[in-house]
């Protein structure tokens, strides 16, 4: 599982990011300041770091000096929509930056792009008897190609990248359809049913009571 370190001193924002990343199937560790982050970095390695610039004691830029030798990709989070800050972050080797306030979907998209750039997510996935080529968007079972609609393909990819993880209907909806989930909407369920049939995942794509769905592999 992909592990992300969140360094952010504002608790509500930290919790929001943590929840969103967890729902999207990432493993998360939080640090409330630069010192705590440095401690965690000494103990374990991460696939990605989300780093707030304005931190008490050791700020994000100082911490970046400490992180850089490890080669771990960093996305800066900044409250200041200042060009100087952004340029400084990127010059220091940050992969990207987010300006507060940001949409959760934007955060998830940027995280995904950086992870892909670092080959943390594979171009070809072999999941549940399927061969998924994420470059050409081709899905095969053995030699047989399975035609999917764009939404079905995105849905498949979401499950394939988060195996054995319960995904909330809200998360699925937001990730695939990109809008706010309306409680009681059957869009997700209908598409999951169709996808199940098409790819032969009847016994793999399980409904999780009061949550959504989980791919079992
Ligand atoms: Ca801050």
Ligand 1 centroid vs 8 CA: distance in angstroms? 6
> Tokens in use for 133?
């080529």
Ligand 1 centroid vs 56 CA: distance in angstroms? 8
DSSP β-bridge partners for residue 27: 3
Residue 129 and residue 181 in contact, taking contact as beta carbons nearer than 8 Å: no
Ligand 1 centroid vs 88 CA: distance in angstroms? 17
Over residues 36-53, the pLDDT tens digits come to 999 999 899 999 999 999
**How much is the pTM?**
0.63
* Distance between CA atoms of residues 129 and 92, nearest Å: 43
Q: Which residues are within 5 Å of ligand 1 (an ion), measured at CB?
A: 9, 52, 54
Ligand 1 centroid vs 99 CA: distance in angstroms? 12
- Please tell me the predicted confidence (pLDDT) of residue 68: 84
Ligand 1 centroid vs 79 CA: distance in angstroms? 7
Ligand 1 centroid vs 182 CA: distance in angstroms? 32
Alpha carbons within 13 angstroms on the beta-carbon side of residue 141 total 10
Ligand 1 centroid vs 86 CA: distance in angstroms? 15
Ligand 1 centroid vs 62 CA: distance in angstroms? 14
SS (HEC) of the chain: CCEEEEECCCHHHHHHHHHHHHHCCCEEEEECCHHHHHHHHHHCCCCEEEEECCCCCCCHHHHHHHHHHHCCCEEEEECCCCHHHHHHHHHCCCCEEEECCCCHHHHHHHHHHHHHHCCCCCCEEEECCEEEECCCCEEEECCEECCCCHHHHHHHHHHHHCCCCEEEHHHHHHHHCCCCCCCCCCHHHHHHHHHHHHHCCCCCEEEECCCEEEECC
Domains annotated on the chain, with CATH? 3-117 (3.40.50.2300), 124-215 (1.10.10.10)
Within the chain, which residues score under 70 in pLDDT? 80-81, 120-122
Ligand 1 centroid vs 5 CA: distance in angstroms? 15
Distance of CA 71 to the CA centre of its chain: 19
* Distance between CA atoms of residues 152 and 136, nearest Å: 15
Alpha carbons within 13 angstroms on the beta-carbon side of residue 65 total 4
Ligand 1 centroid vs 68 CA: distance in angstroms? 20
């Amino acid at each position: 599982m992909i592990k992300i370190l969140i360094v952010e001193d504002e608790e509500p924002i930290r919790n929001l990011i943590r929840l969103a990343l967890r729902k999207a199937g990432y493993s998360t560790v939080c640090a409330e300041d630069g010192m705590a982050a440095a401690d965690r970095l000494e103990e374990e390695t991460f696939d990605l770091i989300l780093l707030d610039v304005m931190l008490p004691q050791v700020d994000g830029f100082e911490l970046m000096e400490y992180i850089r030798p490890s080669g771990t990709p960093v996305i800066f989070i900044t409250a200041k929509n200042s060009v100087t800050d952004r340029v400084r972050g990127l010059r220091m080797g940050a992969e990207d930056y987010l300006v507060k306030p940001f949409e959760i979907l934007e955060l998830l998209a940027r995280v995904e792009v950086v992870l892909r750039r670092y080959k943390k997510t594979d171009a070809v996935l072999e999941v549940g008897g399927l061969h998924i080529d994420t470059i050409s968007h081709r899905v095969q079972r053995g030699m047989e190609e399975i035609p999917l609609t764009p939404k079905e393909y995105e849905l498949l990819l979401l499950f394939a990248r988060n195996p054995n993880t319960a995904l909330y209907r809200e998360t699925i909806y937001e990730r695939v359809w990109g809008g706010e989930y309306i409680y009681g909407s059957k869009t997700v369920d209908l598409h999951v049913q169709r996808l199940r049939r098409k790819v032969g995942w009847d016994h793999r794509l399980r409904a999780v009571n009061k949550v959504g769905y989980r791919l079992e592999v």
